[in-house]
Amino acid sequence: MIKVILFDLDGTLLPMDTDAFVKNYLKELAPRVAHIMDPNDFIKALWAGTEAMIRNLEHDKTNEQVFEETFLSLANVKKEDIWPTLDDFYEKVFPTFSYLCTPSPLAKKIAIEAMGQGYRVAVATNPVFPKAAIYERLNWAGVLDVPFEIVTVYEDSTYTKPHREYYQNLCERLEVNPEECLMIGNDKQEDMAAAQIGMKTFLVEGWVIDRGQPQFSIDDHGTLEQLYEKLKNKEGLFAK
């Protein structure tokens, strides 16, 4: 029986074109470090740090530590020389990107309905961003005040999607078995990968991401509206 519902954020609770969002993010961020380092070198180091997080399976290092090690070694700058600029960006500029999203009131309605039915809820977004950026996106989605048990951020996460270790670690933190979890997301590779360890999966349609391979088991699918109706009416995966 499902006890915990895990929600992806980008493209799921927060409808958006992820590729367009990332392009704008880099376009706005890179020039702001020009007084410290070459913007092109910055982007290369940023991508390398992100790729290092995605590859990493060392359980004793957070994603933040992995990113910092790789980024700083390639950028050839000291953390104290560049981090204040990055922190300032997340505080003052990043919040202005909300126009790139199309938030839906259904996000909060779904989360509240799930909790009202006794489900435990958590946000299982890919933790490759700092807490400030992820919580800002929760704000855009209208769910910042929802008492999620866990929100995966890069400061306190050890793995990333689509690794099975990411989902196993979530189960350990929540003290549940994979079979007691439902992963809801829009990415056929990153989110549906939860099926690898026995979680149920629901693919949210609208901003589906599909890279072709690998393909994982999808137990149900539908729009946010259909997800809400199935949850409210206790149908399919939500049947008691």
CA dist 28 and 31 (Å) reads: 7
What domain range includes position 31? 19-98
Whole-structure pTM value? 0.95
Residue where a domain stops, chosen among 98, 126, 158: 98
Q: How many domains does the chain have?
A: 2
Tokens of 220: 């149900």
Residue 212 has pLDDT above 90, yes or no: yes
CA dist 207 and 210 (Å) reads: 10
Residue 208 has pLDDT above 90, yes or no: yes
Average pLDDT over residues 75-101: 95
Average pLDDT over residues 218-230: 98
Average pLDDT over residues 94-99: 94
Instruction: Say what the pLDDT of residue 94 is.
Output: 95
Average pLDDT over residues 220-236: 97
Beta strands in the chain (DSSP E): 4-7, 120-123, 181-185, 200-204, 220-222
On whether both 94 and 37 belong to a single domain, the answer is yes
On whether both 55 and 79 belong to a single domain, the answer is yes
Average pLDDT over residues 66-85: 96
Share of the chain above pLDDT 90, in %: 97
H helix and E strand count, the chain: 8, 5
